[in-house]
Structure formats: structure tokens, C-alpha cells
Amino acid sequence: MKRKVDIDHIRNMLQKHVTESIIGCDKVLLAFSGGLDSTVLLNILQSLRDANNFPLSLRAIHINHGLSSYSDFWVQHCEQQCKQRAIPFTLVKVNINNIPDGIEAAARNARYIELYKALLPGEVLLTAQHQDDQAETLLLALKRGSGPSGLSAMSADTSFGCSRLLRPLLNFSKLQLAEYANNLGLSWIEDDSNNNDRFDRNFLRRRILIPLQQRWPQFSKSVTRSAQLCAEQENLINELLKETLSKIILPNGALTLTPLLSMSNIRRSALLRRWLASQGARMPSRKQLNSIWQDVALSRCTAAPKFLIGDKQLRRFRDNLYLISVKILAKLESEVLLWPMSKKKLILPQDIGLLVKTLSNTTNFSLLPKNSIIVNKSVSFIRAPQPNEHISVRFGKLDGSINIIGKSYSQKLKTIWQQLAVPPWQRGRQPMIFYNQKLITVPGMFVTIDGKITTDCAALHVLWLKKYSINK
């Protein structure tokens, strides 16, 4: 029996739902592949933009992965569709090289990186995933043995860096979108790779989901409801654990371990997962999470365990867990940065931050901190250099011993780092300021005797503005 289609109802529902989804967003960027789903969304957004009572700044972006022989044709099609609608069009080409998790995952990761980079201030990103995509995502999560978080599948409104990612079509099936597009005579492309069952999503869509929908026409709708219920449960758990999590995460992003020791395995695992998520880590499996706790968290205090999670490394230092980006482990010992007095600011390598110096001719010590070490967080107050002294910034190890203000004896730099509780992997990233060959200060850490302010010299105020997230 042929299905009776109420196209007016579908059109009205689509426009109403998209309108409600983007209320409060006057600038949107649409991820436009040129396929059926994003073409429908492009058409709806155009109609909203052209409505007199709906101010909307609309742009479209196409990511060319270069994986198909038809890629150039798709680019031309997308550009033409946007030109017909007077929608600004951006093309970004990406190269898919590293594919340890498969080409699908690599393409998706590369795509979202470029989409984030393309966002303008105040813009939100729109993608066109629909109800059947949601069903595929949940089935893939089941295959991986995911918990409630994974089974929540895709959210209709989620944070995306400093912006938001909206998916306004999640409540509509592909059939409904096709009916809308055919009724309006829209033109779209078909990705030839969609017929290749080598890809997990295609296999699910062609071999599993279609028979399920033929047997139970409301299957995708029911799956979407299940995903929403899982999301609600996950949000409830987040709410219940929020206060505890805020108490065990330190200002620098590290996780303090002591409170976790007395908790149940279930509660501890839930907190560990949420901490990892807050630090941008890839979610570990249950087996990996157990290894993190047993092999890293419960390791001896003298041990230096490491656990790799994607492009991040989990480390323990004293009673804290740290998640650090692998890129910060690169050696900086050969770096020597010259910093002339005429230059107020100095950008440090590898996202370490920015140094700022301010010269003060005053000798009024009441303006300085009442601290024998003359250090205030990431600020050091030191003497200004003499005309024959040149300022440089260096990193890494230091031979011999040094005398710092507040200590009556000299110490090795390694000993000072231990006393200041600086983790081993961060020690080589501390900017050491030298006058010629004399170490003067590490801003916010210590000032040496050679950097002490006296009554016959000007003072220099040195500030280290660092990114306070340890996984950056």
C-alpha cells in the first residue's frame, strides 16, 4: 500500500523545528556537503533568511576530503547551489593521512577541525544529521559496548569549542527529507561511497537498518527516543556528580586522588570519565579505565607511570593525576630567546604563554610584595639589567647550584622544582630569564640572588601569562 504523504505538514514541521532550533542565533554556518540532508537544511535556512521578520546571517562551508573521484564535481555543485541562493560559500580542502581508527573517523575528525576553525565570532555551526543517522550512531555505540553517554548518540544542541553545534533535523527521517526535497524540486548529490559496505555506517544502513525499518517503520523514531532517554540519565548523573567533581579538580586541571580512594568503583569510574572528558580526552574503554586506576593512580609514589589516550598522556605526580598533550613533551633545551629591553612582550614557543616586562624607576619597596622570595604567583620583581647585560629566555636543565632569595644555601635546580611541586614534564617548560649567563628568575617560581632589587637600581616587573590548562 502506497504511503500517503502530507507534504504541507512535513514542510511546516521542518520549518517550525529549524526556526525553534536557531532562535537567538543571528549568525550561522552550515556544513554543506551537497547531499540530500544538508540541501534541505540549506533551503530552509534560505527561506528563513529571506523572511522579513527573521534576521539571519547565513554562510555555507564545504569540506573537500579528496577521497572521491567526484570531489571536484561536488565542489562545483555546492558552490552553484549557494550562488543561486546568494549564500556566501567557503571551500576547505583537507588531506587525510593518519588513519589509525579508520578512514571514516579520520575524515570526520579532519572535517570538524576545519569547521571549528572556520567559525566567525558569534557564529554557531549547523549540521544536517537526521533521525536515521541517529539510529546508526546508537547501533555503532552498541557494537562498541558503550554506556549511557555513548548511547546518547548525537545531541541536538551541544557546545563546540567556544561556540555551539546545532543539529535541527534529528527528529526527522530521511524519507521525510526526501519528500520535502522532491516536492520542491531540489537538486542534490549522491556520495558514491554510500554504497560501499566496507564502511561500518554503510553496512548498518544498507544491511541492518533498512530491514529493521521495513519490519518496524517506527524503528528509527524509537531509537531516537531511547537515545534521548540515555542522554537524560547521563545529564542527571552529571548533575549529581558536579559538586564532587568541582572539589577534586585542581585549578590547573589535575585530578586529586585522595578523595577517590574511599569511593565505590562505580562512583570513582564515573568521576574519572567526567574528568577525562573535561580535559578533552578520548573516552577509554572499561578495561582501559581499570588500567588507569590500577597501573597509574595506585602506582608507587616513586614510580613514573604513563598511559596513552589518543594524543594525550596520563601521568601521576604525587597525589594528583595529570592529562597532558603529547606535544608538550617535546624538548625545548636548545631554545634561546633574546629579549631586548625595548621589547615589552615575548611570545613563548609551544603555547607556553607570553612574557611581559615593565620597567619601574622607583625604589619604593612598599610597592613590592611583602614576600621574602619576591614572587607573586606568575609575577617576579627583579632588578633591571645593567647596560652591558642582555636578557635571554632559556629552557631545560641547569648545571651547578643556584642561590634563590629566601634560602641561605645553594641548591640544585632539580631540588627547587621538587620543593615547588613542579611535575617533571613541566620543568623543561618553565621560562628561565637570564642576564648574560646568570639565571635571574623563573616568573612566579623564584628569584635568584643575582636578580635581587637593591636601592641603587631600577626594578623590573616580569609577568608570565600562561594558559592555565595543563593539556594545552
Shared domain for 291 and 223, answered yes or no, is no
Q: Specify which residues 309 forms β-bridges with.
A: 312
37 labeled part of a ligand binding site: yes
Q: What is the number of alpha carbons within 13 Å of residue 387 lying toward its C-beta? A: 0
| Residue 398 vs residues 131, 155, 348, 358, 413: alpha-carbon distances, Å | 60, 51, 19, 26, 7
Tell which residue, 205, 223, 242, 60, has the closest CA to residue 154.
223
| Residue 354 vs residues 128, 286, 357: alpha-carbon distances, Å | 40, 40, 10
Rounded to whole angstroms, the maximal C-alpha distance in the chain is 98
Shared domain for 261 and 123, answered yes or no, is no
pTM for the whole thing?
0.70
- The distance of Cα 76 from the centroid of its chain, to the nearest Å, equals 32
Whole-angstrom Cα distance, residue 472 to residue 459?
A: 32
CB 271 within 8 A of CB 241: yes
Residue 30 forms part of a structural domain: yes
Q: Per-residue pLDDT tens, the chain, 472 aa: give them.
A: 445 567 888 889 999 999 999 988 889 999 999 999 999 999 999 999 988 677 889 999 999 988 788 889 999 999 999 999 999 999 999 887 755 567 777 888 888 889 999 999 999 999 999 999 999 989 988 888 888 888 888 888 988 888 999 999 999 999 999 999 999 999 999 887 777 788 888 898 889 988 998 999 999 999 889 988 998 999 999 999 999 999 999 988 899 999 999 999 999 999 999 999 888 888 888 888 999 999 999 888 777 888 888 778 899 998 999 998 876 666 777 789 999 999 999 988 887 888 989 887 544 444 434 333 333 357 889 999 999 999 999 998 888 899 999 888 999 999 999 999 899 888 988 999 999 999 999 998 999 999 999 887 888 999 898 764 333 3
Amino acid at 128: A
Residue 80 forms part of a structural domain: yes
Residue 233 forms part of a structural domain: no
**CATH number for position 210:** 3.40.50.620
Residue 186 forms part of a structural domain: yes
Amino acid at 192: D
**CATH number for position 309:** 1.20.59.20
The whole-number pLDDT of residue 382 equals 92
The whole-number pLDDT of residue 371 equals 38
Q: Is 212 helix (H, G, I), strand (E, B) or coil?
A: helix
| Domain's final residue, options 278, 307, 328 | 328
Residue 386 forms part of a structural domain: yes
Whole-angstrom Cα distance, residue 161 to residue 115?
A: 11
Number of domains the chain is built from = 3
The whole-number pLDDT of residue 376 equals 37
Amino acid at 238: N
Interaxial angle between packed helices 219-248 and 131-144, expressed in degrees from 0 to 180 and rounded to the nearest 10: 60
35 labeled part of a ligand binding site: yes
The whole-number pLDDT of residue 240 equals 95
Shared domain for 341 and 281, answered yes or no, is no
Shared domain for 269 and 365, answered yes or no, is no
| Domain enclosing residue 17, as ranges | 1-228
Sheet holding 163-166, edge to edge: 89-93, 57-64, 27-31, 124-126, 163-166, 157-160
Shared domain for 70 and 217, answered yes or no, is yes
451 labeled part of a ligand binding site: no
| Domain's final residue, options 197, 228, 259 | 228
Residue 471 forms part of a structural domain: no
Shared domain for 110 and 179, answered yes or no, is yes
Q: Specify which residues 308 forms β-bridges with.
A: 313
Phi-psi domain of 96 (left: phi exceeds 0; alpha: psi -120 through 50; beta: other)? beta
The whole-number pLDDT of residue 275 equals 94
The whole-number pLDDT of residue 364 equals 43
36 labeled part of a ligand binding site: yes
Shared domain for 177 and 29, answered yes or no, is yes
Q: Where are the alpha helices (DSSP H) in 22-145?
A: 36-50, 71-84, 103-118, 131-144
Tell which residue, 396, 403, 391, has the closest CA to residue 452.
403
Tell which residue, 49, 11, 12, has the closest CA to residue 27.
49
Tell which residue, 257, 267, 223, has the closest CA to residue 132.
223
Whole-angstrom Cα distance, residue 26 to residue 28?
A: 7
What DSSP string runs through 311-347? TEEEEEETTEEEEEEGGGGS--TT-EEE--TT--EEE
Whole-angstrom Cα distance, residue 75 to residue 460?
A: 56
Sheet holding 255-256, edge to edge: 255-256, 320-325, 312-317, 306-309
Residue 234 forms part of a structural domain: no
Shared domain for 7 and 115, answered yes or no, is yes
Residue 243 forms part of a structural domain: no
Shared domain for 175 and 267, answered yes or no, is no
451: which residues sit within 8 A by CB, 6+ positions away? 380, 382, 383, 405, 433, 435, 440, 441
Task: Count other Cβ atoms within 10 Å, centred on residue 191.
Answer: 15
The whole-number pLDDT of residue 328 equals 66
Beta strands in 117-242 (DSSP E): 124-126, 157-160, 163-166
The whole-number pLDDT of residue 363 equals 41
Shared domain for 16 and 45, answered yes or no, is yes
| Domain's final residue, options 194, 228, 262 | 228
Shared domain for 293 and 422, answered yes or no, is no
Shared domain for 372 and 443, answered yes or no, is yes
34 labeled part of a ligand binding site: yes
